[in-house]
Structure 1
Amino acid sequence: MPLVSLDNTITLAISVRDRHASAAWYKDKLGFELLYHMDNAGWSELRTKTEGVTLGLGEQAEPAPGNSVPVFGVADIAVARGALEADGVRFDGETETIEGMVSTATFYDLDGNALMLAQDLSGAS
């Protein structure tokens, strides 16, 4: 039995220079649907053509090409993080929360690849 119970969502997070321009590119080129721009957090999200999979765009002055961080949805981030930490999984800093939106926690696999847990706080799911 797995340590963490994931929900049926995944967000592929990538860094971009201009979220608005990138969102338009993904819409025009791949037919993704803009869900929202959260300008105060430097984040935009688009619905892909795959059920339960979104693309998150994090604005960075100098994005690292080829980066992607899978973000796994969980019902309770504290429980999920606690189970993984108890099993020796390394996390990067504290859990971050944007009130009324999301809580996230970055962790690493055996090879140092970044992964993230996210708990939706918007009440939409």
Structure 2
Amino acid sequence: MSLISVDQTITIAMSVKDRHVSAKWYENMLGFEQLYHADEAGWSEIKTNTVGVTIGLGEHTKPAPGNCVPVFGVADLDVARQKLERAEVKFDGETEVVEGMVKTATFYDPDGNALMLAEDLTAGAN
């Protein structure tokens, strides 16, 4: 039995120099669809051809080569985080919140691979 329940979405988060250029590349090369650009947050998302899987592009002046973090959707990030912390799962700092958009927390598997939990905050914004 698992400690937390993730939903049926996965976002693969990557660091890029220019989100707009990268999104266009994925559209032209792989046939993916741009979902949105959130310029104020330095974030863009594109829809892959796999149901429930998106690619998130975080803009950084010096992206880490090979940087890729799977992001698992959860209904309540605070509850999920508390359960994982009680099981001694290591988190990287505090939970980040972009009001009206998303709440995220990065954590690590036993081998030090970064993973992230995300709670969608847009549902109540409409």
Q: How many angstroms apart in 2 are the aligned matches of 1:86 and 1:95?
A: 16
Q: Distance in 1 between matches of 2:38 and 2:27?
A: 17
TM-score, normalised to structure 1, is: 0.97
TM-superposition CA deviations, 1:2-23 (whole Å, max 9, x none): 0010000000000000000000
Corresponding residue of 1:6: 6
Give the 3-state SS of the residue equivalent to 2:81 in structure 1.
Answer: helix
What letter is aligned with 2:50? T
What amino acid does structure 2 have at the position aligned with 1:29?
A: M
Deviations 1:72-109 (A, max 9, x none): 00000001000000000000111111111100000001
5 Å-filtered alignment, 1:7-86, equals 7-86=7-86
Stretches (4+) displaced over 3 A: none
Rounded Cα–Cα distance in structure 2 between residues aligned with 1:29 and 1:123: 31
Distance, in Å, in 1 between the alignment partners of 2:96 and 2:59 is: 17
Cα distance in 1 between the residues matched to 2:67 and 2:81: 23
Provide the secondary structure at the position in 1 that maps to 2:9.
strand
Structure 2: state its 5+ residue gaps. Answer: none
For the aligned residues, what is the CA RMSD?
0.9
Equivalent-residue separation in structure 1 for 2:38 and 2:114 (angstroms): 23
Deviations 1:18-47 (A, max 9, x none): 000000000000011111001111100000
Q: What is the CA–CA distance in structure 2 between the aligned matches of 1:18 and 1:96, rounded to whole Å?
A: 22
Give the TM-score of the pair, scaled to structure 2.
0.96
The letter for the 1-side match of 2:37 is H
Matched-pair identity in %: 68
Unaligned 5+ segments in structure 1 are none
CA distance in 1, matches of 2:49, 2:65: 23
- The residue type paired with residue 93 of structure 1 is G
| Residue aligned with 2:8, SS | strand
Total equivalences in the alignment: 124
How far apart, CA to CA, are the structure 2 residues paired with 1:122 and 1:31?
Answer: 26
Q: How far 1:65 moved relative to its partner?
A: 1.2
Cα distance in 2 for residues equivalent to 1:58 and 1:115? 15
